[in-house]
Amino acid sequence: MESRDLEELEKVLGYKFNDKNHLYTALTHKSYVNEKMCGHRVSYERYEFLGDAILEYLTSRFLFEEYPDKPEGELTKLRASLVCEFTLSKISRELKLGEYAFFSKGEKNTGGPNRDSILCDMFESVLGAIYLDGGIEDADKFVRRYLLTDIEHKHLFYDSKSKLQEYAQKKDKKLAYNLIKESGPEHDKLFEVNVLLGDEILAEGEGHSRKSAEQTAAYNALKKLK
């Protein structure tokens, strides 16, 4: 990766690193370290561990302050919808972290840069890197900019399948998801599904996994019903 690429990513992140080694580490998958036998280079796993804890703290603090009337149970559900794998991987795709990251040739060829679990971890590792480089205030700015926005929308999206199931039960109708199309190479599949209420097609959705496509379809159905 050339230095200008790091500068491009810094602009996307909205944060300029004092020590770019933090960013290099946050973007390094363990497969790259193993393949290159980099004794001086470590993977993002420790940064991800730290970022996970920071993310939970910052999100909890924000929700505690933003929703003073919500009980503990509702705050917990709201936090879960924000820090879940689906939400974090979606943000990482928007930031194109997978495109900037370091992977082994094998991991890259089998879809590592686009895998939800890896992209989720990478969001947390970048957060950990920002914290180590700039402190808690810069980490907080990053989380607020990319995660703590449009919260009700994210929460509804997270709960879309269960809410649609509740609707179907009230109507005493069967809810079903059908795969319409599967396209793209094995490591970068795109799934398209529709959701039916009885015999009626409510909506369609697409995603990089069947689960995320179904979630999108459910969300689109809820918007249509409302």
Contacts of residue 200, Cβ cutoff 8 Å, sequence gap at least 6: none
Q: Which residue has the higher pLDDT, 225 or 70?
A: 70
Walk across the sheet containing 190-197 and list its strands.
175-183, 190-197, 200-207
User: How high is the pLDDT of residue 110?
Assistant: 82
Note whether 196 and 221 are same-domain residues.
yes
The residue whose two tokens read 């993977």 is 43
Note whether 41 and 83 are same-domain residues.
yes
Note whether 121 and 74 are same-domain residues.
yes
Domain boundary among 128, 158, 188: 158
Note whether 81 and 141 are same-domain residues.
yes
The residue whose two tokens read 């003073």 is 68
Note whether 204 and 145 are same-domain residues.
no
User: How high is the pLDDT of residue 37?
Assistant: 67
For the stretch 78-91, pLDDT in tens is 999 899 988 999 89
Torsion 144-25-9-205 (CA) sign: negative
Note whether 103 and 204 are same-domain residues.
no
User: 16 is in which domain, residue-wise?
Assistant: 3-158
The residues annotated with a catalytic role in the active site are 52, 124
Q: Where are the beta strands (DSSP E) in the chain?
A: 175-183, 190-197, 200-207
Contacts of residue 100, Cβ cutoff 8 Å, sequence gap at least 6: 1, 5, 6, 9, 27
User: How high is the pLDDT of residue 111?
Assistant: 83
CATH number at residue 173: 3.30.160.20
Burial 125-134 (b: 16+ CB within 10 A, else e): bbbbbbbbbb
Mean pLDDT score, 24-51: 88
Domain boundary among 136, 158, 180: 158
For the stretch 124-160, pLDDT in tens is 999 999 999 999 999 999 999 999 998 888 887 878 8
User: How high is the pLDDT of residue 185?
Assistant: 76
Note whether 124 and 176 are same-domain residues.
no
Note whether 120 and 145 are same-domain residues.
yes
For residue 3, pLDDT beyond 60 = no
The residue whose two tokens read 């705050």 is 75
User: How high is the pLDDT of residue 112?
Assistant: 85
The percentage of the chain sitting over the pLDDT mark of 90, rounded to a whole number, equals 63
CB 164, CB 151: distance < 8 Å? no
CB 196, CB 175: distance < 8 Å? yes
**What is the pTM assigned to this prediction?**
0.81
Domain boundary among 103, 137, 158: 158
The mean of the pLDDT values for the chain is: 90
CB < 8 Å & 24+ apart, contacts of 2-10 = 5/100, 6/100, 9/95, 9/96, 9/100
Q: How many folded domains does the chain comprise?
A: 2
Note whether 74 and 8 are same-domain residues.
yes
CATH number at residue 59: 1.10.1520.10
Note whether 165 and 149 are same-domain residues.
no
CB 156, CB 163: distance < 8 Å? yes
For residue 38, pLDDT beyond 70 = no
